[in-house]
A and B are shown apart, each in its own frame.
Chain A
């Protein structure tokens, strides 16, 4: 018995090994399988039924869609997952083509990202997945271009919030549709502000004034940012300055120096602080140890306002307005035309005004359509939810993280460099030089 089992294992292993070596002999330049060389069983069946188009740009035809199952990998949990399941069940029950969308939770974002990378390498990506553009730069060639779908079969792309349209075009084609979107807002201790006769700051100057009063009266810092790189990007844009692109830093100029000066002034005078050992500012504000902070709008549920009232305001602005958009989009990987069409039906459903409104109200994410913001249902909801009011007021100025090869490294470097300079209480010029060097060292090798 034992021997037999051992033999079986040995055999399978040798077989596996020979297939592997066989593969690497095929051409060292292209070790992993390319599109379509080893299609999984399901796709090969599907492909034989409707094999007009294969990959790349999908051409939308008027003919119907064959019943099929669409795999959708996501990272939603708890009430977000419940709502996603509810929406999907509704789609599965109501769509006229017999399309079934199968939801799979793949852990948290970090896990989903690793999982997508591994499956991209094995060429076994799902039909649909939630993703940040940053994850995708290594395999953006596997994304289905959605331009034709949007052009021919979408109810008003212009109704989608402008910032999201830009974000989903970062690769030079339409790579996805916005889904669970959030934005950075200013959470503040309204009770404390009222007591000091302050209102939420709207401009850089006001923020500085407010910070002085809070420092003098309460002896605590006025503000903090959960995401330093995001803060830097938004502030540069607010001051009419560029951030980064493939060629390097765009802020090595007068405007950039002004921005850094403003930031370092806040930190060096004790008006702002780093989150440090407290990990999230939501903990710090809950304990009234900071007067306000900038963080994701979905973080509202992690703030416990016990004995004080929480206020939410849009980000401050200077010569221009800018607010960071966050949250993932849904991208498509299916290689088979029928599945692409089926998946598109589902994406149309999820981004419809009705679905996105329902989704936003149930989860605290933001609607992806302007018409959804303006709908009566959502307006009623906004009356009870200050976070969404702040988010709506800045929805015309959303900016997103850049996504190109090396952009992740650059943003990490910016965040680390800023933190280092803040800890060193450095002056503005030193900080700016360090930031420019950190960025250009990576991008201009």
Chain B
């Protein structure tokens, strides 16, 4: 790489301007708001500056529940979705019949109306005649109250979200697979390397940057899960609030309770958690 110069900033300028104005500035404001106690965003009034919102936040059992739920959610959804998507993407990219048709089908969840998706999944999860319980009954498993009982709320949300995030991951992996030179595969075919070896030695290293991207972005968006909750239970966070997530909490406090300071404090905490985890992830990625 060439020596340092300021030229890079010229290339960054257009993005920088938009980000500074429409992301960085409101972000800094949100950060400041988290220290204003009894803050009313509309009148601009607050009682004092301090850590009161953070104290309230960790005293609120809804928030601690949201943090716990979100962490469990992230741990399950991200790896599952990436593993399954990788499998499907590799299969889609292999020599199959109706390749175009399959690729289009796996892309569809990304464009289907959220309301439609929510409706179908509430049917799949329905305790009495839902598809999932029908399949489980073949194995002699009793009816599960997927959406009705708090203890199944999070598992339902996770299953649904894995399905939902796959379309994006598949699309990224498919694009990544195109950057692997075909001759590498041809060479392996000649000396008849086993498939799994080809996968580990050529495919995975070839799309390693996309996998790391999918992991980091997956983490970030999984931490911000909100719409999935909304569409599965039609506007509430599961039975007795059992599937509440951090962003659901933030949204509710901001737009419904008008508790701007508390919502901002929650957003800052979320920000810090994601930041630390991303740094750790990137450091781990570099070591490899």
Chains A and B directly touch (beta carbon < 8 Å): yes
Is A13 an interface residue, CB under 8 A from the partner?
yes
Contact yes or no, B42 A139, CB < 8 A: yes
Contact yes or no, B257 A406, CB < 8 A: yes
Contact yes or no, B239 A419, CB < 8 A: yes
Residues in chain A near residue B84, CB distance under 8 A: none
Contact with B along A85-127 (1 / 0, CB 8 A): 0000000000000000000000000000110010011000000
Contact yes or no, B14 A137, CB < 8 A: no
- Interface positions, chain A 6-29, Cβ under 8 Å from B, are 6, 9-10, 13, 16-17, 20, 29
Is B41 an interface residue, CB under 8 A from the partner?
yes
For the complex of A and B, the 5 pairs showing the least CB-CB separation, nearest first, are: A138-B258, A420-B240, A277-B147, A276-B148, A416-B241
Contact yes or no, B125 A139, CB < 8 A: no
A382 to B40, CA, bound (A): 46
Q: Which of B42, B146, B149, B256 contacts A32 (CB 8 A)?
A: B42
Residues in chain A near residue B45, CB distance under 8 A: 29-30
- Interface positions, chain B 36-68, Cβ under 8 Å from A, are 40-46, 56
Is B93 an interface residue, CB under 8 A from the partner?
no
Residues in chain A near residue B141, CB distance under 8 A: none
A121 to B21, CA, bound (A): 18
Contact yes or no, A277 B146, CB < 8 A: yes
Residues in chain A near residue B13, CB distance under 8 A: 6, 10
Q: Distance (Å) between the CB of A433 and the closest chain B CB? A: 15
- Interface positions, chain A 370-419, Cβ under 8 Å from B, are 406, 408-409, 412, 416-417, 419
Is B81 an interface residue, CB under 8 A from the partner?
no
Contact yes or no, B147 A17, CB < 8 A: no
Residues in chain B near residue A34, CB distance under 8 A: 43-44
Q: Which of B17, B126, B150 contacts A10 (CB 8 A)?
A: B17
Contact yes or no, A409 B42, CB < 8 A: no
Contact yes or no, A277 B252, CB < 8 A: no
Q: Distance (Å) between the CB of B21 and the closest chain A CB? A: 5
| Chain A interface (Cβ < 8 Å from any Cβ of B) | 6, 9-10, 13, 16-17, 20, 29-32, 34, 113-114, 117, 120-121, 137-139, 141-142, 274, 276-277, 279, 406, 408-409, 412, 416-417, 419-420, 423, 445
User: Can you list 24 A-B pairs with a CB-CB distance of less than 8 A?
Assistant: A9-B17, A10-B13, A10-B17, A13-B17, A13-B20, A16-B21, A17-B25, A29-B46, A31-B44, A117-B258, A120-B42, A121-B42, A138-B40, A138-B41, A139-B40, A141-B43, A277-B125, A277-B146, A279-B122, A417-B240, A419-B239, A419-B241, A423-B149, A423-B239
A13 to B16, CA, bound (A): 11
Contact yes or no, A32 B239, CB < 8 A: no
Q: Which of A139, A406, A420 contacts B150 (CB 8 A)?
A: A420
Is B234 an interface residue, CB under 8 A from the partner?
yes
The interface centre, meaning the residue of B43, B45, B125, B147 with most chain A CB atoms within 10 A of its CB, is: B43
Q: Distance (Å) between the CB of A233 and the closest chain B CB? A: 18
Residues in chain B near residue A9, CB distance under 8 A: 14, 17
> Given known contacts A114-B255, A274-B239, A423-B150, what 11 new A-B pairs fall within 8 Å (CB)?
A13-B18, A17-B20, A30-B43, A32-B43, A117-B258, A137-B258, A138-B40, A139-B40, A142-B42, A277-B122, A423-B149
Is B281 an interface residue, CB under 8 A from the partner?
no
Residues in chain A near residue B40, CB distance under 8 A: 138-139
Contact yes or no, A20 B150, CB < 8 A: no
Q: Which of A17, A408, A423 contacts B240 (CB 8 A)?
A: A423
Smallest CB gap from B150: residue in A: A423
A13 to B41, CA, bound (A): 24
Residues in chain B near residue A419, CB distance under 8 A: 239-241
Q: Distance (Å) between the CB of B261 and the closest chain A CB? A: 12
Contact yes or no, A277 B127, CB < 8 A: yes
Q: Distance (Å) between the CB of A287 and the closest chain B CB? A: 11
What class of interface size applies to chain B in its complex with A? 20 to 34
Contact yes or no, B255 A32, CB < 8 A: no
A34 to B43, CA, bound (A): 7
Contact yes or no, B257 A409, CB < 8 A: yes
Q: Distance (Å) between the CB of B111 and the closest chain A CB? A: 22
A412 to B150, CA, bound (A): 17
Residues in chain A near residue B256, CB distance under 8 A: 408, 412
Q: Which of A17, A114, A141, A423 contacts B21 (CB 8 A)?
A: A17
Query: With A408-B257, A445-B56 as given contacts, are A139 and B14 in contact (CB-CB < 8 Å)?
Result: no
A164 to B35, CA, bound (A): 39
The interface centre, meaning the residue of B18, B41, B122, B234 with most chain A CB atoms within 10 A of its CB, is: B41
A70 to B14, CA, bound (A): 40
Q: Distance (Å) between the CB of B165 and the closest chain A CB? A: 23
Residues in chain A near residue B21, CB distance under 8 A: 13, 16-17
Residues in chain B near residue A276, CB distance under 8 A: 147-148, 239
Q: Distance (Å) between the CB of A32 and the closest chain B CB? A: 5
Residues in chain B near residue A32, CB distance under 8 A: 41-44
Smallest CB gap from B258: residue in A: A138
Query: With A30-B45, A121-B42 as given contacts, are A6 and B258 in contact (CB-CB < 8 Å)?
Result: no
A274 to B256, CA, bound (A): 24
Q: Which of B14, B43, B126, B255 contacts A277 (CB 8 A)?
A: B126
Residues in chain A near residue B149, CB distance under 8 A: 423
Residues in chain B near residue A142, CB distance under 8 A: 42
Query: With A13-B21, A17-B25 as given contacts, are A121 and B257 in contact (CB-CB < 8 Å)?
Result: no
Residues in chain A near residue B241, CB distance under 8 A: 416, 419-420
Residues in chain B near residue A6, CB distance under 8 A: 13-14
A409 to B241, CA, bound (A): 13
A32 to B40, CA, bound (A): 10
A327 to B20, CA, bound (A): 41
Residues in chain B near residue A279, CB distance under 8 A: 122, 234
A6 to B18, CA, bound (A): 11
Contact yes or no, B255 A113, CB < 8 A: yes
Residues in chain A near residue B259, CB distance under 8 A: 409
- Interface positions, chain B 217-244, Cβ under 8 Å from A, are 234, 239-241
A138 to B42, CA, bound (A): 7
Contact yes or no, B44 A30, CB < 8 A: yes
